[in-house]
Amino acid sequence: MVFPGSANYSSTILSKNESGGLLINHNAAGADKFRYSLDWSSSWSPWQVYDGGRTLAVDTQTWTGTDTQKWSGDHVKIQYWSQKAGSSNHIQEGDIQGLSQAARRWPHVFLHGPFNQYGYDQGLFNEFKQDSEGYWNFNFMTEWPAHWQANVWGMNANGLPDATAAYGDVDGDQVLDRIPPITLEENVANITDAPPLKNLAWWIHINDADLRYYYIPIGSAAQQKALYFLLLIIPALTGSMAVYMYLRSFYQVKHNRYGVLDKGTFVPLTVKHEIHEKMSYFSDKLSKYQATIPGLGLPLVGRRTGNKGFSAPANLSADAGRRRVLIATMEYDIEDWAIKIKIGGLGVMSHLMGKNLTHQDLIWVVPCVGGIEYPVDQRAESITVTMFGKQLEVMVQYHQLNNITYVLLDAPIFRGQTKAEPYPARMDDIDSATYYSAWNQCIAETIRRFSPDLYHINDYHGTIAPLYLLPQTIPCCLSLHNAEFQGLWPLRTRKEMDEVCSIYNLPEPVVAKYVQFGEVFNLLHAGASILRLHQHGFGAVGVSTKYGKRAFARYPIFWGLKKIGGLPNPDPTDLAEITAAKLEQHIQVDEAYESSRMTPRLQAQKWANLHEDPTAELFVFVGRWSMQKGTLRTHIWSKLFNN
């Protein structure tokens, strides 16, 4: 009655009985009737006659709202009516007696204003926090001048701001006002001045007992300037460091260690020597691991444990001292039959191996393509492959040339390719999957028949052939010519997994262990998995020193390996030794021929929008500028131009 503006909270007004019921402890002499609310005035009990003492509060009120609008603990709000005073404007409220929490007259309060579209932009934090003294606080930083509104309930479940308990300052007296929702007057509190220069924001400080609010400047402008400065220079510094580290680690132009002549002496570096070094590198290393592989519990497919029911061709060398190596390529060269299929670097490599590996027995698996007539040499037992649960017969014949035994595979699925296009057009559809399935199953059967000492895998095409031999294994080496192409089929659903396993005739556990990478059936990953699981991560090389390191860093499928080595591909036409006499011999220039080149040179300059000069030198390079192509290097161009 005397202090209705401040004496409106009691710490003893609400308690609990032994059964957990809420008891209202009245102390309102002069009151005639009362009613109470347990949900912050959202709903009220009926008016009851006041007779003092205690009242058992029956919680029959139903409150609905969002999770953000919920509150913790029990709270009561009591309104008293006095006939003599002629007023019901006497409110007392309180929480459970004995709790050590600050007095609260609001369950929570939210800041609304133009900065958050009056609550519609719910991505911005806008909830006041109550401190230990009962004040509600919010750090408000926006563009000045500004205005705001304290809303007890925030946004309702219907997505609209609540209008029943929105407070502003209509008269600007630093006391919050609550006006009827239907009024057209804007009920907001204004902030006219910006914080002092040394501060960043205003700290809004509200006392819910008397609804007074205060503005307190907070934040350090100096710290904010320092942060902006760091955000300005740190990205530039770290970006520059990243570029510098990349250039130092991956993008260096290094001295060519191959083909350099020592002054005073000449050490020839021929193609034959390089091919010998390349295969010996694989053979010597793998022989050291051969003894350790059976320790993994998987027997080797070797000359001592091969297929006893099959006899190799009679003219195949039986010398136990000669290494028997199996390769399988779709580009090949059968010299005595004048059949040559070559469209890229893999064809060049296979041609070099056939020419220079005379110290080894080479088993070369090749497919018969359409449009070429193949002579008939030594017919062999057909190979049966399985796809979609059905069997396909592949005709086989052998052809012996020097130390090479060609295993020719003839079936409609292989005849669908041509000399100009020996590879399937795609590597992600059913047609290409059936091709590579038949190809790898035929390679696996060839391994069983010939029991080679080493299986040399080139790129992704024949990587899963060893999986058809499990639980037996065979020493393998993997040469990477272009790791960008990996042979990928999706494994996103159960249907795709069943379909791919049915095409390749591989059980799902084997696919999951060796081939699957994420949600993709990855043929090249199978080759890396074989090296990782059975050869301690050893046996992979790139076709140049730089490409091996680059492939290892770029493709995650190789990260289970110890490293990817690097071996250069030499110039296939440079077979002669370099001597001083050859370097000093006089070169005869055909003047008539040189004169005839002026017209095409002018045409090429005009086509390329170059300066037209018939005497100018015209340099043309086609291919990747790296050692793996075995030709020009970037660091010689300055000398060429200067000379």
DSSP line for 24-63: EE---TT--EEEEESSTTSS-PPPEE--SSEEEEP-----
- The answer on 76 and 171 residing in a single domain is no
Q: What is the pLDDT of residue 412?
A: 92
Q: Indicate whether 256 belongs to any domain.
A: no
- The answer on 502 and 372 residing in a single domain is yes
Rounded CA-CA distance 463/449 in Å is: 18
Q: What is the pLDDT of residue 312?
A: 60
Q: Indicate whether 519 belongs to any domain.
A: yes
Q: What is the pLDDT of residue 317?
A: 57
The whole model's pTM is what?
Answer: 0.50
C-alpha Rg value of the chain to the nearest Å:
43
* Report for 23-37, 306-320, 512-526: range of highest mean pLDDT: 512-526
Residues 6+ apart with CB under 8 A from 119: 110, 112, 126, 151, 154, 155, 161
For 522, the domain range is 271-566
Q: What is the pLDDT of residue 11?
A: 85
- The answer on 551 and 485 residing in a single domain is yes
- The answer on 418 and 352 residing in a single domain is yes
Average pLDDT, stretch 393-418? 93
> pLDDT tens across 358-392, in order?
888 999 999 999 989 999 999 999 999 999 989 99
Q: Are 468 and 514 in contact (CB under 8 A)?
A: no
Q: Indicate whether 252 belongs to any domain.
A: no
Q: Are 498 and 533 in contact (CB under 8 A)?
A: no
- The answer on 590 and 560 residing in a single domain is no
Rounded CA-CA distance 480/555 in Å is: 12
Q: Indicate whether 526 belongs to any domain.
A: yes
pLDDT band at 261 (very low <50, low <70, confident <90, very high): very low
Q: H or E segment at 272?
A: helix 271-290
Beta bridge mates, 93: 9, 77
- The answer on 536 and 482 residing in a single domain is yes
Total number of domains constituting the chain: 4
Identify the domain boundary among 499, 531, 566.
566
- The answer on 461 and 327 residing in a single domain is yes
Q: What is the pLDDT of residue 493?
A: 92
> pLDDT tens across 426-462, in order?
777 888 999 999 999 999 999 999 999 999 999 999 9
> pLDDT tens across 531-585, in order?
999 998 899 998 877 888 888 888 999 998 988 988 765 665 666 677 767 666 7
Identify the domain boundary among 535, 566, 597.
566
The residue assigned the tokens 């998987």 is: 298
Residues 6+ apart with CB under 8 A from 365: 326, 327, 328, 329, 407, 409, 442, 443, 446
Q: Indicate whether 167 belongs to any domain.
A: yes
Specify the higher pLDDT residue, 481 or 398: 398
> pLDDT tens across 500-523, in order?
999 999 999 999 999 999 999 999
Decide if pLDDT at 179 tops 70: yes
Q: Indicate whether 249 belongs to any domain.
A: no
- The answer on 523 and 396 residing in a single domain is yes
Rounded CA-CA distance 156/510 in Å is: 56
Residues 6+ apart with CB under 8 A from 434: 387, 413, 503
Rounded CA-CA distance 76/56 in Å is: 12
Beta strands in 174-239 (DSSP E): 189-191, 201-207, 212-218
Average pLDDT, stretch 196-214? 92
The residue assigned the tokens 């009613």 is: 35
* CA 52 to the chain's CA centroid: 72
Beta bridge mates, 366: 408
Q: What is the pLDDT of residue 293?
A: 41
- The answer on 81 and 118 residing in a single domain is no
Q: Indicate whether 201 belongs to any domain.
A: yes
CATH number at residue 442: 3.40.50.2000
Mean pLDDT of the chain: 83
Identify the domain boundary among 566, 594, 627.
566
% pLDDT > 70, the chain: 82
For residues 151, 154, 160, 165, the Cα torsion angle rounded to the nearest 10 degrees is -40
Q: What are phi and psi of 450, to 5 degrees?
A: -100, -15
- The answer on 394 and 293 residing in a single domain is yes
- The answer on 115 and 74 residing in a single domain is no
Q: How are the residues of the chain apportioned to helix, strand and coil, as percentages rounded to the nearest 5?
A: 30, 25, 50
> pLDDT tens across 98-134, in order?
777 888 999 999 999 999 999 999 889 999 999 989 8
- The answer on 162 and 79 residing in a single domain is no
**Which residue type is seen at 579?**
T
Q: Indicate whether 251 belongs to any domain.
A: no
Q: What length is written for the chain?
A: 643
Least confident of 156-170, 242-256, 629-643: 629-643
For β-strands 33-37 and 48-49, DSSP reports them as: antiparallel
Report the alpha-carbon angle 625-561-501, nearest 5. Answer: 100
Q: Which two tokens stand for residue 329?
A: 């390529």
Q: Which two tokens stand for residue 473?
A: 């294994």
